[in-house]
Amino acid sequence: MMPITIKERERKKDFGIFFTPEWVVDLMTNLIDNHGLNLKDLKILEPACGACQFLLGIKKNRQDLFNRAVKKVGVEINSKVLNSVNNLNGISVIHHDFLLWNTGDKYDIIIGNPPYGIPSLSDHYTIKVDNKTKERYKEIFETWYGKYNVYGAFIEKSIKLLKNNGQLIFIVPATFMILDEFKKLRKFLSENGKTEIIYMGSDVFKPEADVTTVVLKFRKSKYEKNKLVLYEYAKDGIGPILKNDFWRGEIILFKSELSEEVENICSFRLKDLYEVKISPRTPEIKSSKYVIKPSDHESNGLLPILNGRNLKIGEIVYEPITGYWIEPKNKTKLRKFFAKPHIVVGLGFRGDGRLGCAYDHKAYPWMGDVYHLLRKNTLLNMDFNLSEEEVVDFLNSNIIQKYVKEVFRDITYHFSITQLSILPMPTREDLLKLKESPIWKEIGNMT
């Protein structure tokens, strides 16, 4: 294959295009299960097909299925990547937006690598879609929620195009496993059949893209709904990690000996004890009538607005970094919870996987990607006897850092509110048990 030019690479990004390595195509086509397929009327579909890698992969690896198929269809929105494969080998390529494409056919096998990205004309997002088209997407797809990624819509539409016992096999980002934007999609999956997920890690598309991926294998079946199996891919094979026959669309977490031990010992989850809030974003700060960017700020008695760069492990650096200031009396105009000292948490980054947590005893105003933990006034908190400083120490501990890495892996770049909310939280008595456990001795003391 000829090297891809910078211009071609940028054009591909506008459509969310990343070509799939051949070994992944081979892996996925060999996952097709003949069980339940109607071999006399077999129909195969590849959405966002581009060069029809997967249809040709079936020809290469599953020639019996390829030859039996009465229909082999690809759908592709971008005419510039349509390949001369059309009308060869019995493959029909349709030039259309798959998400808006109408067909009366149902398919036995739907396989491929759908585009991924937030649809928008904004420079901040990769999939260039006008507002009118985006509104049509929102009307059509029942799983659309929040800043929805188009690959979720591809999954929903494909499942609706499957015959009973039909199979969907997609390689997609792993983010649908845990992010709130995909809670409707997870529920949709659980209600329509059996969901199998093979965790592939973050190296599949490098250097083209740094994204953690999974292979989603889904069988449409009312008899297998609510079944979930999570696997992990390794060079020596695919091994199971967890199985759940009663899945209702909850977030999907990895399990380990450490995570199960910590969860068994800790009496609470963070969401039981704290409300989690996020700081005002930069656009809000810039547009606020209370925020000041003075030339002589030190003589004005103003408070600097802090951000993630002011937050260290167990420490807050109360110095002006952002360039934004506010009068002390007006800080609660940004957020009421800036009135009282509380715990602040950095988002944590994929690869590093570490939380940055400290106690803001001065109650400064904040902006950007920083979370704020506000202790609830509930009966549960009467049984929770750690001080705020002890909570900070625990969240910064080696135990929690390893827990985060093992349970969430490297699925997201940033730590989400959902992830933070389900962290296990111990009482003082639980903490003593943790310190006596083998995992504590193995990992080391709290930082």
pLDDT at 231 over 70: yes
Rounded to an integer, what distance in angstroms lies between the CA atom of residue 152 and that of residue 155? 5
The single-letter code of the amino acid at 447 is: T
Q: Which two tokens stand for residue 326?
A: 């506010």
pLDDT in tens, 432-443: 999 998 888 788
Which one of the listed residues 15, 18, 98, 116 is annotated catalytic? 116
- Whether 148 is a known active-site residue: answer no
Which one of the listed residues 205, 218, 268, 324 is annotated catalytic? 205
Of 262 and 7, the one with more pLDDT: 262
pLDDT of 5: 37
Query: Tokens 């910064």 appear where?
Result: 396
- Whether 114 is a known active-site residue: answer yes
Rounded to an integer, what distance in angstroms lies between the CA atom of residue 349 and that of residue 295? 34
Which one of the listed residues 54, 113, 170, 415 is annotated catalytic? 113
pLDDT of 8: 41
Nearest of 368, 345, 367 to residue 357 by alpha carbon: 345
> Which secondary structure element, helix H or strand E, spans residue 433, and what is its range?
helix 428-436
Nearest of 183, 173, 180, 168 to residue 151 by alpha carbon: 173
Which one of the listed residues 114, 173, 280, 365 is annotated catalytic? 114
pLDDT of 118: 84
Of 311 and 383, the one with more pLDDT: 311
pLDDT of 352: 57
Question: Which pLDDT band, with edges at 50, 70 and 90, does 9 fall under?
Answer: very low
pLDDT at 11 over 50: no
pLDDT in tens, 112-161: 999 998 886 666 656 778 889 999 999 999 999 998 999 999 999 999 99
pLDDT in tens, 326-378: 999 999 999 999 999 999 998 764 445 577 899 999 999 999 989 999 999 88
Degrees, nearest 5: CA angle 329-330-334: 145
pLDDT in tens, 28-79: 999 999 988 888 999 999 999 998 999 999 999 999 999 999 999 999 998 7
- Whether 131 is a known active-site residue: answer no
pLDDT of 10: 42
Q: How many residues does the chain have?
A: 447
* 279 CB-contact burial (10 Å; exposed 0-12 / middle 13-18 / buried 19+): buried
Of 47 and 409, the one with more pLDDT: 47
Rounded to an integer, what distance in angstroms lies between the CA atom of residue 375 and that of residue 203? 39
Nearest of 191, 178, 251, 236 to residue 218 by alpha carbon: 191
Average pLDDT (188-204) is 96
Average pLDDT (315-321) is 94
pLDDT of 301: 84
- Whether 207 is a known active-site residue: answer no
Of 231 and 383, the one with more pLDDT: 231
Rounded to an integer, what distance in angstroms lies between the CA atom of residue 281 and that of residue 332? 15
pLDDT of 12: 47
Nearest of 411, 359, 364, 368 to residue 388 by alpha carbon: 359
The single-letter code of the amino acid at 386 is: L
Average pLDDT (253-277) is 95
Question: Which pLDDT band, with edges at 50, 70 and 90, does 416 fall under?
Answer: confident
pLDDT of 108: 97
* 68 CB-contact burial (10 Å; exposed 0-12 / middle 13-18 / buried 19+): middle
Q: Which two tokens stand for residue 357?
A: 């947590």
pLDDT at 431 over 50: yes
